[in-house]
Amino acid sequence: MGKFNTFYNYYFMLILYLQSADGMDLKFNRIIMHRSAAVKAIAFARHPGGGVAFIFAILFPIVMGAVGFGVDYATWLVRKQQLQAIADATALAVVSDMQVSGFDRNRAQAVAEGQVRSLAADKLGGDPIAVTTEPVRRRPVAKPDDPYTVAPANERDQPPTGVRVILSQRKRAIMTKFVTPYLTDIAVRAAAEIVGTSRVCVVALDGSSAAAIDLRDRARISASNCSVYAVSASAAAIDARDASQLSALKSCAVGGYAGSSLRYRPVPITGCPAIKDPLAERASPPVGGCRYTDKVIGNWSETLDPGTYCGGLILTSGAVVRLNPGIYVIKDGPLVVGTDSAHPLAGPGQVHPHDVAQCHCYHNGVSQADKHHMHCPNVPVRLPPASLSGDGVGFYFTGTVQAEYDGIARPMQFMPRSNVSLSAPTDGAMAGLLFFEERGAPTGRSFEVLSDDARRLVGTIYMPRGTFLVAANQTVADRSEYTAIVAQKLALSQEPRLVLNANYNATKVPVPQGLGQTSARPTLTQ
């Protein structure tokens, strides 16, 4: 113990001597006063044991400093890797949001900050993380040897194709007073851009109702190559119940979805940003004078020309109708294909529109009492189906339609015993549009496909105020190169399989702007 005290005294005197040599705390006169202490310190250093202590005294702060630097550097590297992973995920999240909402600086910043808060939480030491977002604008450069090369694009040329996210954080260090900012200020960046194409084929426009996309019974939607979107903010914006199923490249809802997750492939994305009607700026076609009034075609063949069909167009069982290319305006009446008339053997001019059966007669679950009140015919199934076909044709629904027994107006009715094969115009006022409901129509109307043979519907179905309902027992639209649906609501019941192909390049029927290949796959580019 005595030797240790002597070592301590001499070591302390040595430190005082070294400090006095730099003039840090002692005055010159104190050096004179402690001359004896300095002499003793030198004598101690000459002692065999004192030399070791002297070296230890010199090296100890160096070693401890090196350890502190090592710890700081190691934790700095780990922290930087953690921040980089968060930056990568955040950039992808912002670009995914851009796919459906477009680019907005404030929204991109808010999405990025929310994503960082969610991923970092208190896992990174609680130190604040600064988040910065920058748009990325690029355009492809055609090079035979490298078709994917990109070059900067002027902001005026095109909207952003991606976003760059920069995260920075000041990490607390052991050697805070000595390390450089490089070891305390961490900054990482990641860029994600839209690469490739992802196809949008369904948009349900209702902004608040539950079951804006409604599947029940054994109904199925097969949209494996395109995306389905519900604008409704309801917690059950997409509702798949019973044994129904929704399969899509991606399903997205502003609100949420109802039903077992087993009903969806994949499970819908919830909390998506609201989007506008992609066809809101599409001009309506002109409506001319009446070409026909209360046109009804019975058990015979006929070729029809474009024009305005006042009072609607009705094809009863056995009718075979071929449409010449053009626009068919269905005004103040329904388009009905395959209804049973009260006089099934009547000839030309002998069938009146009021003699046809109501569409509600063919819905499952309608009681016999209701069918009796509606005068639903009890016609043998030997009656032939009605057939409607045409290429380059578009139907525009305008005016009023009388509601049926259940209080629902049905401007379009493809009955169970009907064959329908149609493709939209390739040019003109309705290029790409197969069905178009006027925007001033009352809400709640139903455009219904009950047909078990409506396998070719090429083009876009646009019902901004109505419901597009499929209640068949067979596959619908599977022979179409593409079918897109923009409607207030989409409903399926009974046992149909609605196939929404997205082979846009396989037909000359154009895809209206806002649908089709308008979104893309987010990919990290930095």
Query: Could you please report the per-residue DSSP string of 436-479?
Result: EE-TTSPTT-EEEE--SEEEEEEEEEEEEEEEEEE--SSEESTT
The pLDDT value recorded for residue 171 is 64
Structure tokens at 86: 């968060």
Is residue 307 a contact partner of residue 291, using CB atoms and an 8 Å limit? Answer: yes
> Please, what sign has the CA dihedral across residues 378, 381, 383, 386?
positive
Comparing 127-141, 317-331, 403-417, which segment has the lowest mean pLDDT?
127-141
- Judge whether residue 19 has pLDDT over 70: no
- Judge whether residue 487 has pLDDT over 70: yes
E-strand stretches of 72-184: 130-136, 138-140, 150-152, 162-170
E-strand stretches of 218-349: 220-230, 238-240, 245-253, 257-258, 264-265, 290-297, 301-304, 307-316, 320-323, 326-331, 335-339
User: How far is the C-alpha of 144 from the C-alpha of 366, rounded, in Å?
Assistant: 63
Q: Kind and range of the H or E element at 57?
A: helix 48-101
The strand pair at 257-258 and 238-240 is best described as: parallel
Structure tokens at 242: 């019973």
The pLDDT value recorded for residue 148 is 36
> Please, what sign has the CA dihedral across residues 365, 484, 248, 268?
negative
The pLDDT value recorded for residue 112 is 85
Mean pLDDT of 464-493: 95
Is residue 266 a contact partner of residue 240, using CB atoms and an 8 Å limit? Answer: no
Q: What is the CA radius of gyration of the chain?
A: 38
- Judge whether residue 488 has pLDDT over 50: yes
Does pTM top 0.85 for this prediction?
no
**Cα 45 vs. chain centroid, distance in angstroms?**
77
Q: Kind and range of the H or E element at 370?
A: helix 368-373
**Cα 247 vs. chain centroid, distance in angstroms?**
14
- Judge whether residue 476 has pLDDT over 50: yes
The pLDDT value recorded for residue 89 is 87
Quickly state the pLDDT bin for 264 (edges 50, 70, 90).
very high
Mean pLDDT of 123-148: 63
Amino acid 328 reads Y
Quickly state the pLDDT bin for 282 (edges 50, 70, 90).
very high
The pLDDT value recorded for residue 186 is 79
Q: Convert the pLDDT of each residue in 164-217 to its tens digit.
A: 889 888 766 555 445 555 556 778 888 877 654 457 899 999 999 999 999 999
Is residue 192 a contact partner of residue 91, using CB atoms and an 8 Å limit? Answer: yes
Quickly state the pLDDT bin for 156 (edges 50, 70, 90).
very low
CA nearest 150: which of 110, 193, 115? 193
Comparing 224-238, 366-380, 472-486, which segment has the lowest mean pLDDT?
366-380
Sequence-separated (6 or more) residues with CB below 8 Å from residue 394: 285, 326, 327, 328, 424, 425, 428, 429, 430, 433, 434, 435, 436, 459
Between 238 and 190, residue with greater pLDDT: 238
User: How far is the C-alpha of 222 from the C-alpha of 477, rounded, in Å?
Assistant: 10
Is residue 92 a contact partner of residue 86, using CB atoms and an 8 Å limit? Answer: no
- Judge whether residue 7 has pLDDT over 90: no
Peptide bond into 266 cis (omega under 30): yes
Q: What is the 3-state secondary structure (H, E, C) of 350-390?
A: CCCHHHECCHHHHCCCCCHHHHHHCCCCCCCCCCCCEEEEE
Structure tokens at 35: 């001359």
State the average pLDDT for the chain: 78
Q: Which of 45-59, 80-94, 143-157, 448-462 has the highest mean pLDDT?
A: 448-462
Phi then psi dihedrals of residue 258, to 5 deg: -120, 160
Q: Convert the pLDDT of each residue in 416-473 to its tens digit.
A: 889 999 999 999 999 999 999 999 999 999 999 999 999 999 999 999 999 999 999 9
User: How far is the C-alpha of 266 from the C-alpha of 481, rounded, in Å?
Assistant: 23
Between 87 and 333, residue with greater pLDDT: 333
The pLDDT value recorded for residue 134 is 86
Between 119 and 215, residue with greater pLDDT: 215
Mean pLDDT of 296-314: 95
Q: Convert the pLDDT of each residue in 335-389 to its tens digit.
A: 999 887 544 444 444 455 555 666 667 776 667 777 666 667 665 556 789 999 9
User: How far is the C-alpha of 451 from the C-alpha of 114, rounded, in Å?
Assistant: 48
Burial 6-16 (b: 16+ CB within 10 A, else e): ebeebbebbeb
The pLDDT value recorded for residue 27 is 45
Mean pLDDT of 54-68: 57
User: How far is the C-alpha of 333 from the C-alpha of 401, rounded, in Å?
Assistant: 5
> If DSSP codes are grouped into helix, strand and coil, which group holds residue 181?
helix
